[in-house]
A and B are shown apart, each in its own frame.
Chain A
């Protein structure tokens, strides 16, 4: 019956176990060393709730791990990694099967053996194709995002050599055995069979084949164990085989980009000023980064020429961490500071907190909170920040909203004049609170949206109230600027205010307010049912409470606001509304839904501009223009202002207007009323 002898032609096989044992010792040491280095960080909530973590890991493990969901968003590198991954998994399983059958004396024979041979042969080919794709990409195509180091070449070569020597060993064994005794068995090892051909090893004498086989076998064995030891001892990126799944296991299961609250009573250091101020999970993040550059490719800061690349940021934190962890070779006084040294202040301020990087990262690294943590240190410990951020924060502190100077134009309640709206102070017995938000109450352009929304809500007969001039800021700008102390003050006051009116339901016009209320207030004891106005309108349409009869005869595209899309997965409601408007065609931009590109206004960038490179909103507007749409619809006051500013800045041949979805609904409703 078809079978093969394990350790055929090999004597002193115990030496292999000695080798493997040495490798295992090195791996154990490496794991211990990494563990100790992660523990340089502070505690993290991630070590709690292990049960739900295991469950989440198992649940998404198939799609994200085995199925490579995140990788395959880009076909070339996705398939490349998938081939290497699955090839190696099968080869490792095959080795395990060999060991099991050998020692438990369960014979692997007959057709099972033949199929096994075939599958293993194919797996090797998958790995080789993957490696060739990787080499082509890294050394010939050289995409901007890949930074190549010696380690990359070393590990690709090692993998290739291990696989090829494996085939050679197989070929030599076949040449000495199956080809002569059972040629039909050998057909099931097609790749190995190549090496039995006359031109390669076929012409050698039987003795030479035996010697060559045993020499190559030992070379292969030493190489495999040597590779393992190399990876364990160096900071090779092949370590990601262990660390990345671990990082995926400890990934964020809560809201996107929400920094941990600071206990102001006990905190001694605010934010992150040096490596040990990070949490162990944040350090693990750096360790798990493979420098693949997917995050950099989608980053608006990078795309617009700012000094920030999330890839570089993660790598720089990692390097600094490795240095701090090895004080012998890097004496502390010779190290640059983390902020202003390893990471430039400009990098920290360049982030719009758009979350594109986190969405793209295949190993679930979280860049945003680290950036905010460093901002916290800058604003709250070092009082260092761009001047306009300082003005914005001062304004929040003294006037309760971020719009510096806006008070000379309007006061909070001005937009309500003549509308006869009900404030909660007059009557709090309403179904929901319309939380307008600072921008939508203070900026002229956004007030138009607010008024449109009010008309829509009134037409639909929604029972709502407002806070009018008593409405404070939700606190989001302060939090993204790292000025947590102001954020927490706002949150406390707002929760008291809302609970005082017994508010249960909130409809927010601003995705930033929406996100803050929905995802960040609960940590401070404020739980409300929050919806964004697009959700409410979509719902009203479904219930037939609004009739859209007036056709707009236009082509629109939709810009997903980051805090609605990536932060809260609201993709379909805005689109459903647009589809419901008669004669309004929707054409998607090249980057939409979770791949949408930021408008440039988030993460406090609404209030300051880094005079470096180009403008994010220009890039996004160009993308909108490519669709030939006449309307770029959105659902966020920042996006609206940013897009409008970019449109005005261009000398356009084609008409393009930025509109909030509420305005389009109002327009489609108007003439029929």
Chain B
């Protein structure tokens, strides 16, 4: 079985928004200096899920693929250290500022170049823009089924059973292979790369493919091909006021608090 996992590098989502700046001209986010980029949390869970499938189904091969500018190979190395077997980086000036359709096109082209695959895993959304469309459009582009927000996958022959997260539990759906599955955070804590994993990952070569390498259609990628446009970008300001409720007894304080909560329509 061959699993392809799409991973994305994003600015650390744990950093409070107030630390970011926005360039009003280009409408781009500027992360605070020194902020290390990380693997998107959902994508990391996709890698985790792939590793778990591999543990249960020996002989499975995992390929991690990422796209982006700069040192994105770090996220591929992270996936390799976790247990992926191969990694590919997609890097080209022409790829930058593509929207979900553009990205899906690039990924589809790269996956077609890879050739054989049984399962494609993506994070349910990237933890930076939270758009959550690329996985579905990718399936559409490749002409295969998609199952979204998975928390578990069980392989049964040429089919998979996917546990999908619902608001009040989960449902199990069956899908034929090959297909795309987007993975949710309910998968649980991704493994820490083992020392041996890191050492082996460091020794692996990660090829970088350009638009020409994968034969991407220039008309379908980049800002010009975008189906959507950012009209304004801002950091929401959040006002917090702090009020300390004082009273002589705890009971009295509780009553005052309850009244206050009702007054402010919190409850």
Q: Which residues of A contact B (CB under 8 A)?
A: 264, 267, 270, 376, 379-383, 385, 387, 390-391, 393-394, 397-400, 405, 407-408, 411-412, 469-470, 483-485
Of B12, B33, B199, most buried by chain A (CB within 10 Å of CB) is B199
Q: Judging by beta carbons under 8 Å apart, are A382 and B194 in contact? A: yes
B266 beta carbon closer than 8 Å to chain A: no
A451 to B194, CA, bound (A): 38
- Is B54 an interface position by the 8 A CB rule? no
Check if A399 sits within 8 Å of B19, measured CB to CB.
no
Interface of A is mostly: helix
**Alpha-carbon distance between A390 and B39 when the two chains are bound, in angstroms:** 16
Q: Which B residue sits closest to A468, measured CB to CB?
A: B34
Known: A399-B36, A469-B34, A470-B34. A407 touches B14 (CB 8 A): yes
Question: Are B189 and A379 closer than 8 Å at their CB atoms?
Answer: no
Interface 1/0s, chain B 1-19, versus A by CB < 8 A? 0000000000010111001
A119 to B238, CA, bound (A): 88
Closest to B34 in A: A469
On whether the beta carbons of A408 and B16 are closer than 8 Å, the reply is yes
A379 B16 Cβ-Cβ under 8 A: no
Between A and B, 20 residue pairs with Cβ closer than 8 Å are: A267-B199, A380-B194, A380-B195, A381-B196, A383-B192, A383-B194, A390-B191, A397-B192, A398-B38, A399-B12, A399-B14, A399-B36, A400-B36, A407-B14, A407-B15, A412-B34, A469-B33, A469-B34, A485-B198, A485-B199
Kindly state the separation between the CA atoms of A408 and B196 in the bound complex, as whole angstroms. 31
Q: Lowest 8 CB-CB distances: which A-B pairs, in order? A: A380-B195, A485-B195, A398-B38, A270-B195, A383-B194, A407-B14, A390-B192, A469-B34
| B32 at interface by CB-CB < 8 Å | yes
Considering the chains assembled together, what is the distance between the CA atoms of A405 and B15 in angstroms? 9
Number of chain B residues close to chain A: CB under 8 A: 20
Question: Which of B36, B192, B193, B199 lies at the interface centre, i.e. has the most chain A CB atoms within 10 A of its CB?
Answer: B192
Q: How far is the CA of A394 from the CA of B41 in the complex (A)?
A: 12
A264 closest partner in B (C-beta): B199
Which B residue's beta carbon lies closest to that of A392? B192
Give Cα distance in the complex from A277 to B195, angstroms.
Answer: 16
Q: Which residue of B lies closest to A400 (CB)?
A: B36
Are the C-beta atoms of B36 and A408 separated by less than 8 Å? Answer: no
Closest B residue to A409 by CB, please name it: B16
> Would you call A407 and B195 a contact (CB within 8 A)?
no
- A385:B199 contact, CB within 8 angstroms: no
Contact B14 A408 (CB under 8 A): yes
Having A264-B195, A380-B194, one finds 17 other A-B pairs with CB under 8 Å, namely: A379-B194, A380-B195, A381-B194, A381-B196, A383-B194, A390-B191, A394-B192, A398-B12, A398-B39, A399-B12, A400-B36, A407-B14, A408-B14, A408-B15, A412-B34, A470-B34, A485-B198
A411's partner among B19, B191, B192, B193 (CB-CB below 8 A) is: B19
B191 in contact with A383 (CB, 8 Å): yes
Q: In the complex, what's the smallest C-beta–C-beta distance from A475 to chain B, in angstroms?
A: 14
A383 CB to nearest chain B CB (Å): 5
What residues of chain B lie closer than 8 Å to A383, measured between beta carbons?
191-192, 194
Which residues in A have their C-beta under 8 angstroms from that of B189?
A: 387, 390-391
CA distance A584 to B195 in the complex (A): 50
Report chain B residues within 8 Å CB of A264.
Answer: 195, 199
B193 to chain A, nearest CB (A): 8
The minimal Cβ–Cβ distance linking A415 to chain B, given in whole angstroms, is: 15
Min distance, Cβ A481 to any Cβ of chain B, angstroms: 10
Q: Which residue of A lies closest to B33 (CB)?
A: A469
What's the minimum C-beta distance from A412 to chain B, rounded to whole angstroms?
8
Q: Give the residue of A267, A385, A484 whose beta carbon is less than 8 angstroms from that of B192.
A: A385
Partner of B12, one of A270, A376, A385, A407: A407
Query: CB-nearest residue of chain A relative to B195?
Result: A380
Q: Mark B199-223, 1 if CB is under 8 A from A, else 0.
A: 1000000000000000000000000
Q: Which residues of A contact B194 (CB under 8 A)?
A: 379-383
Residue of A411, A483, A484 near B15 (CB, 8 A) is A411
Nearest-CB residue, chain B, relative to A262: B195
| Nearest B-chain residue to A404, judged by Cβ | B14
> What is the bound-complex CA distance between A527 and B19, given in angstroms?
36
- Contact with B195, one of A412, A469, A484 (Cβ below 8 angstroms): A484
Q: How far is the CB of B202 from chain A (nearest CB, A)?
A: 8
- Looking at the assembled complex, report how far the CB atom of A166 sits from the nearest CB atom of chain B, in whole angstroms: 59
In the complex, which residues of chain A have a beta carbon less than 8 angstroms from the beta carbon of B39?
398
A492 CB to nearest chain B CB (Å): 13
A490, chain B: closest CB distance, angstroms: 13
A11 to B12 alpha-carbon distance, docked (Å): 90
**Nearest chain A CB to B104's CB is how many angstroms away?**
27
Give Cα A159–Cα B147 distance, bound, in whole angstroms.
78
Assembly CA distance A553 to B100 (angstroms):
68
Which residue of the partner chain B has the closest CB to A405?
B14
A389 to chain B: closest residue by CB: B192
- Complex interface: chain B residues within 8 A of A379 (CB): 192, 194-195
B157-203: which residues lie under 8 A (CB-CB) from chain A?
A: 189, 191-196, 198-199
- Residues in B whose Cβ lies below 8 Å from that of A390: 189, 191-192
Measured in the bound complex, the distance between the Cα atoms of B33 and A469 in whole Å is: 9
